[in-house]
Amino acid sequence: MTSHENDAPIAASYAAAGVDIDAGDRAVKLFGPHAKRATRPEVLGGLGGFAGLFALKGNYREPVLAASSDGVGTKIAVAQAMDIHDTIGRDLVAMVVDDLVVCGAEPLFLQDYIAIGKVVPEKVASIVKGIADGCVDAGCALLGGETAEHPGLMGANDYDISGTGVGVVEADQVLSPDRVRPGDVVIAMGSSGLHSNGYSLARKVLLEWGRMDLHGHVEEFGRTLGEELLEPTRIYAKDCLALASEADVRTFAHVTGGGLADNLSRVLPAGVIAEIDRGTWTPAPVFGLIGQRGKVERAELERTFNMGVGMVAIVAPEDTDRALAVLTARHLNCWVLGTVSRTHEGGPEQPGRAELVGEYSRF
């Protein structure tokens, strides 16, 4: 026997090592009712299985499954500082399902993963409540997930979340850059704020350098800084599906990390350019505050944040008015951002790109 063996307690346990199985069980009991709300008729069985089962029902001719995974980044640091955890799950769902719908896929189900330093059942239940709320808004099921306690790897109050979603679209209805044509119109759907991107820069500027108080009222926002920063990401999935069913949508672009120009460029074919007119909208005050307090150049803001545009639809020109009417009826702030045209630089093989032109009306 070595001297190190005498350092162990008389009876070691998983709980003594930092993993509380009983707390995990209590968390499941607390969030169970929330998870059960986020379901669909195709879900087979209930919670607690080793795998979630989903029967692909319906009169599909040639169904194509789409999948997407994402997280919410350092926005979680704001949730931790505010000790508010019932909205961050909604952000997670938005980041996943709004990527799925870009290709025209209807979100079917999502599975989450929560890594946490120490399981506090009420905190975990609050996170899952937000995920369930988001799934209900998106029309998808919360099919299952995993909560893992990581003592020694994460601080007791630390956690991170991620999710994977699956959707379905008919093969001949997949939206892609190949459908985009010169003359098509670019339509914006307004964001609810920062969404879930750029928080490392926002926190550095506002909290670290600016030493602003998360609980302090900010006149430009009409609420506290913390409330502004925790505003949930808009879930566009149902809006996009409704639009695609009533108008000739070529494709969508979800505006996340990289900003409007970079994300729109991802859905443009070679040989075209989408000119986006800054003068068609005014970014929300939070973007201007970050720029002013941090002396952040406009180009850096525009490649970090959504600047007020959370989702973009490219539609056939003759369906512009119809598209705006559909989105307006769904209570979305929407407007024409610009148009798609042939590029005159580099020829037809030049990669498609989006370019912001003009000046914001106020910023």
Q: What tokens does 203 get?
A: 């926190």
> 348 and 253 in one domain?
yes
> 260 and 226 in one domain?
yes
Count of the separate structural domains present in the chain:
2
Of 173, 200, 221, which one is at a domain's C-terminal end? 173
Distances (CA, A) of 34 to 47, 212, 330: 11, 34, 26
Exposed/middle/buried for 274, CB within 10 Å: 0-12, 13-18, 19+? buried
- Among 267, 98, 99, which Cα is nearest to 181's? 267
> 167 and 311 in one domain?
no
Q: Please count the other Cβ atoms lying within 10 Å of the Cβ belonging to residue 346.
A: 11
Q: Please count the other Cβ atoms lying within 10 Å of the Cβ belonging to residue 57.
A: 9
Of 173, 191, 209, which one is at a domain's C-terminal end? 173
Q: What is the pLDDT along the chain (363 residues), one digit of tens a residue?
A: 444 555 655 566 666 667 666 666 766 776 777 777 878 888 887 776 788 888 998 889 999 999 999 999 999 999 999 999 999 999 999 999 999 999 999 999 999 999 999 999 899 999 999 999 999 999 999 998 999 999 999 999 999 999 999 999 999 999 999 999 999 999 999 999 999 999 999 999 999 999 999 999 999 999 999 999 999 999 999 999 999 999 999 999 999 999 999 999 999 999 999 999 999 999 999 999 999 999 999 999 999 999 999 999 999 999 999 999 999 999 999 999 999 999 877 666 789 999 999 999 877
> 204 and 329 in one domain?
yes
Q: Please count the other Cβ atoms lying within 10 Å of the Cβ belonging to residue 245.
A: 11
Of 114, 145, 173, which one is at a domain's C-terminal end? 173
Contacts of 300 (CB under 8 A, 6+ apart): none
The enclosing H or E element of 27 equals helix 21-37
The CA-based diameter of the chain, rounded to the nearest angstrom, is 83
SS3 for 348? coil
**Residues 187/281, Cβ–Cβ less than 8 Å:** no
Q: How many helices (H) does the chain have, and how many strands (E)?
A: 11, 14
So what's the pLDDT on residue 350? 84
> 187 and 129 in one domain?
no
In a domain, 41, yes or no: yes
In a domain, 6, yes or no: no
The CATH number assigned to the domain holding 149 equals: 3.30.1330.10
So what's the pLDDT on residue 52? 86
In a domain, 4, yes or no: no
So what's the pLDDT on residue 23? 67
In a domain, 206, yes or no: yes
In a domain, 323, yes or no: yes
So what's the pLDDT on residue 222? 94
> 166 and 243 in one domain?
no
> 168 and 188 in one domain?
no
In a domain, 94, yes or no: yes
In a domain, 141, yes or no: yes
Structure-token match 């991802």, residue found: 266
In a domain, 223, yes or no: yes
> 264 and 145 in one domain?
no
The CATH number assigned to the domain holding 206 equals: 3.90.650.10
> 160 and 237 in one domain?
no
So what's the pLDDT on residue 287? 97
* Start-to-end CA span in the chain (Å): 72
Q: Look up the domain containing 159 and give its range.
A: 14-46+55-173
Q: Please count the other Cβ atoms lying within 10 Å of the Cβ belonging to residue 270.
A: 14
> 208 and 86 in one domain?
no
> 169 and 203 in one domain?
no
The enclosing H or E element of 223 equals strand 223-224
> 143 and 246 in one domain?
no
So what's the pLDDT on residue 42? 86
